[in-house]
Amino acid sequence: MKLALLGHGKTGSKVQELWKDQIELFDRTNVATYELLMKCDVVISFLPGEAFASLIPVLLETKKPVVTGSTGFQWPANFSETLKEKNVSWIHATNFSLGVVVVKQMIEKLNSMTHLFAEKRLSIHEVHHTKKLDAPSGTALSMKEWLALECEVTSAREGDVVGLHTLTLETPSEIIRLEHEAKNRALFAEGAIWAANYLTQYKLEPGLHTFQKVVERHLSL
């Protein structure tokens, strides 16, 4: 299986290290054209959001399965329907950590229990390296979405922190914290590779799918 890798940043370089099959790297010096992408079987992108968004038209034209961790952009309107019309499946995520899938399950469980506390304050704090441009992080926003409750979200940019997300439930008499820390960027590359292999080995209906939902589906098989 030949992989088209879009971007060679900190996470993209980890994909290149871990991928055991053929790989074609696309960056500023090797532009991703229709002809070159057609020689690949699956696409993984960790490009910045605007750069990835600019490639969406050519990616659609190829009808190749895509795995993307690009953030900081808006998906085109009704994009999942567009993919269905093209009969192609894409997987996207703000965080490709399999551990974050476990965190999602815990957050959804917490949501069903918060009524136990008459007084409570919910907050999410995320910390990333100083070169990360978007804030709050996509993962923090996803956590708030999974929680589906009023929740303050704050951010910090420090050193070379890979990713630290903390959900706190505070009452007048106790504090509950749910925390996920990424120790290195290899975990994001591993998750993206898992998703790429899934797209080539299993039947996934056409459309735009979240990584978390695909993993949950796989666990239920």
Question: Residue 72 maps to which CATH number?
Answer: 3.40.50.720
Q: Which domain does 202 fall in, by range? A: 3-96+186-220
Where in the sequence numbering do the catalytic residues fall? 128, 132
Q: What is the pLDDT of residue 161?
A: 94
The interaxial angle of helices 138-147 and 98-111, nearest 10 deg, is 30
What's the number of domains the chain is made of? 2
**13 & 68 share domain:** yes
* Pair 88, 115 in one domain: no
**What gap in Å lies between CA 145 and CA 14, rounded to an integer?**
29
Q: In whole angstroms, give the CA distance from residue 192 to residue 23.
A: 14
Mean pLDDT by 10 residues, the chain (221 residues): 92 92 92 96 94 96 96 91 97 91 93 94 96 88 94 96 96 97 92 95 94 89 69
What does the alpha-carbon distance between residue 179 and residue 168 come to, in Å, rounded to a whole number? 8
- Whether 197 and 119 share a structural domain: no
Q: Give φ, ψ of 177 to 5 degrees.
A: -125, 135
φ, ψ dihedrals at 192, nearest 5°: -65, -40
Same domain, 113 and 158: yes
CATH number of 123's domain: 3.30.360.10
The pLDDT value recorded for residue 148 is: 95
The reply to whether 190 and 176 lie within a common domain is no
The confidence score (pLDDT) of residue 203 equals: 86
| Whether 86 and 110 share a structural domain | no
